[in-house]
Structures are given as structure tokens and as C-alpha cells.
Amino acid sequence: MGNVHDAGESPFSVLTPRERDVMDYVARGKPNKIIAAELGVSQRTVEAHRARIFQKMQVRNAVELAHCVLGKRAN
């Protein structure tokens, strides 16, 4: 599973449903501890999801991710 997208393909399509859940929280600035509690998973699991999301979305931090998410939703 790579992070190369077709021209018409959404970059979000490479994310699993759980990664999309975590991405929504991260993009809203929620801390890992809160995300973990609300999703019923460990904080370490959230950290692993965040790392994969950042890699797949080709961003370095939550601010870049939020820009990506907000930009896509504005379209």
C-alpha cells in the first residue's frame, strides 16, 4: 500500500476507516489521550495511527494535516 495517488483519486482514499476517524480528531487539534479515550483504544495505538496518517498524507505535523483536510472539505 503506497502513498502515490492517481490524478483524480482523493488522498484520503489511502486511509483506513479507523485512520480517517483518528485524522478527524487530529485535524481538530485533539490530544492523543483524548482521541484514545473517545475511540476506546490505547494512546500508543493512536500514536501509530497518526504516524501512518502523516506518512500516507505526506505531511509532517498536525497543522499540515489540518490544512490538507480543511482544503479538501472546502472544495
DSSP string, 1-46: ------TTS-GGGGS-HHHHHHHHHHHTT--HHHHHHHHTS-HHHH
User: pLDDT for 12-52, tens place per residue?
Assistant: 889 999 999 999 999 999 999 999 999 999 999 999 999 99
Q: Is residue 49 part of a domain?
A: yes
Q: How many domains does the chain have?
A: 1
pLDDT at 12: 84
Cβ proximity of 69 and 23 under 8 Å: yes
Q: Which domain holds residue 31?
A: 15-74
Cα dist from 69 to 16, 42, 61, 74, whole Å:
15, 24, 12, 9
Per the domain annotation, does 40 fall within a domain? yes
